[in-house]
């Protein structure tokens, strides 16, 4: 079992951590260097976490559990206008990021209003590429219930946030409803507001656990971090991608940030030690996001083996 953790410490000697993680059979998911500081998102085998903790302590660094690491969350607002940004949407996105998730902010083209709100097929497909979505709504109960139509066709778990108290059962299409964070015009800084952000993180965490549990019933042929490692090694051009995170991890696969038309064969040809190629154990298709490559690992019931 791999445990997601976040390492925050000095740049000096951080390569010792990288080496240790590789020796233990873990993975470095993300590396962020900010001047002399470094933040690493790491997956480490849970039985060896103590060794990593001991080394982090020696380096005077901080090692915390990052329950959302290795997942991608969509933070969806009705539009990208001043009414929703920067306060609510950015606060939620940043808070999810602090817990290890990779968040994408999505503003719908026509999500505004009550009667006129709509979502199109492309937006639905784009949101469905994530592992969970957070829909940010406002302060009026009636509107929150009415605007259920925006997410009822979305197949990933949706956490809805809004101002008033509403029973979760009144929103049957949502995975969960988190109240007391409706439309606000100031930054979240009070203890109660931070508490609400914690509740969103907890709720997204539960949604992801539910997805993980359903994947466990029919496990994937291989794990996404392993695919990430293999692609990084065998498709060297990925390091030249301008994205801060050239390979984004999902629960069921990865998104490789290279143009689909030029690199699809190269990604499909990635070979594992066991002799299989990525194209045989995963579906490789164009992502809705830019022209990226979306790799979805097939479950063992389709390929007949797990490695």
Partner 1 sequence: MDPMEVFKIEVTGEEEFGAKKYRELIMDILQDLGLIRSIGRLYVYVDIKKPFFSVYGLLRSGIPPLTAKDVGDVMKVQGGYQIKINDEEHMADLLRVLWERYGRERVDQPARDVLIIASDSSPADITVADLEAEFLQDLTDALVRIAPEGFRNRRNEMTKDSFLFIAAEEQLTQEIVSEIKEKIREMENA
| Residue closer to partner 1, measured from CB, 183 or 226 | 183
Give the binding site for partner 1 (CB under 8 A): 78-79, 81-84, 112-117, 138-143, 163-165, 182-186
Of residues 178 and 278, the one with the C-beta less far from partner 1 = 178
- Angle, alpha carbons 127-128-134 (nearest 5°): 50
Largest CA distance in the chain: 59
Annotate 223-236 with DSSP letters as a single string.
Answer: -HHHHHHHHHHH-G
Instruction: Give the residue with the Cβ less far from partner 1, 98 or 183.
Output: 183
The Cα 158–Cα 164 span in angstroms is 18
Which CB sits closer to partner 1, 184 or 215? 184
Q: Which residues pair with 63 in a beta bridge?
A: 7
Minimum gap (Å) between residue 138 Cβ and partner 1? 7
Q: Which is nearer to partner 1, 178 or 251 (CB)?
A: 178
- 239 Cα distance to chain centroid: 20
**C-beta separation of 256 from 246 below 8 A:** yes
Phi-psi region of 275 (alpha: psi -120 to 50; beta: other; left: phi over 0): left
Q: How far is the CB of 181 from partner 1 (least distance, A)?
A: 10
Q: How far is the CB of 161 from partner 1 (least distance, A)?
A: 13
Which two structure tokens, joined as six digits, stand for 9? 């410490």
Compute the least distance from the CB of residue 110 to partner 1, in Å: 9
Compute the least distance from the CB of residue 169 to partner 1, in Å: 17
Give CA–CA dist 196/176, Å, rounded: 13
Minimum CB distance to partner 1 smaller for 182 or for 246: 182
For partner 1, the closer of residues 129 and 193 by Cβ is 193
Cα separation, 30 vs 18, in Å, equals: 11
| Residue 112 neighbours by CB under 8 Å, 6+ apart | 78, 79, 81
Q: Concatenate the DSSP letters of all residues of 99-149 into one string.
A: TT-EEEEEE-SS--SSSS----HHHHHHHHTSSEEEEE--S-HHHHHHGGG
The least distance separating partner 1 from the CB of residue 172, rounded to whole angstroms, comes to 20
Residue among 102 and 147 whose Cβ is closer to partner 1: 147
DSSP H or E run through 211: helix 191-217
Q: Give dist(CA 53, CA 24) in Å, integer.
A: 13
As measured in angstroms, the least distance from the Cβ of 79 to partner 1 is 6
């Amino acid at each position: 079992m791999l445990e997601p953790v976040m390492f925050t410490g000095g740049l000096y000697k951080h390569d010792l951590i990288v080496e240790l993680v590789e020796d233990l059979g873990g993975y470095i998911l993300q590396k962020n260097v900010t001047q002399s500081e470094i933040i690493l998102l790491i997956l480490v085998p849970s039985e060896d976490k103590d060794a990593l903790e001991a080394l982090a302590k020696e380096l005077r660094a901080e090692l915390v559990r990052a329950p959302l690491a290795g997942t991608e969350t969509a933070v969806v607002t009705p539009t990208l206008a001043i009414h929703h940004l920067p306060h609510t949407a950015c606060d939620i996105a940043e808070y999810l990021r602090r817990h290890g998730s990779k968040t994408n902010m999505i503003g719908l083209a026509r999500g505004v209003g009550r009667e006129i709100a709509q979502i199109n097929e492309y937006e639905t497909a784009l949101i469905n590429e994530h592992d969970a979505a957070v829909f940010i709504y406002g302060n009026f109960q009636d509107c929150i219930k009415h605007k259920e139509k925006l997410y009822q066709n979305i197949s990933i778990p949706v956490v809805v946030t809004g101002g008033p108290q509403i029973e979760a059962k009144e929103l049957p299409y949502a995975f969960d409803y988190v109240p007391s964070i409706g439309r606000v015009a100031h930054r979240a800084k009070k203890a109660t507001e931070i508490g609400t952000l914690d509740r969103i993180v907890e709720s997204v965490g539960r949604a992801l656990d539910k997805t993980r549990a359903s994947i466990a019933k029919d496990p994937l042929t291989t794990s996404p971090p392993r695919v990430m490692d293999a692609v990084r090694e065998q498709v060297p051009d990925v390091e030249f991608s301008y994205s801060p995170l050239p390979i984004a991890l999902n629960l069921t696969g990865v998104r490789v940030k290279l143009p689909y038309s030029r690199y699809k064969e190269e990604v499909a040809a990635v070979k594992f030690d066991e002799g299989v190629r990525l194209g045989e154990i995963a579906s490789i298709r164009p992502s809705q996001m830019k022209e990226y490559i979306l790799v979805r690992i097939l479950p063992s019931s389709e390929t007949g083996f797990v490695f």
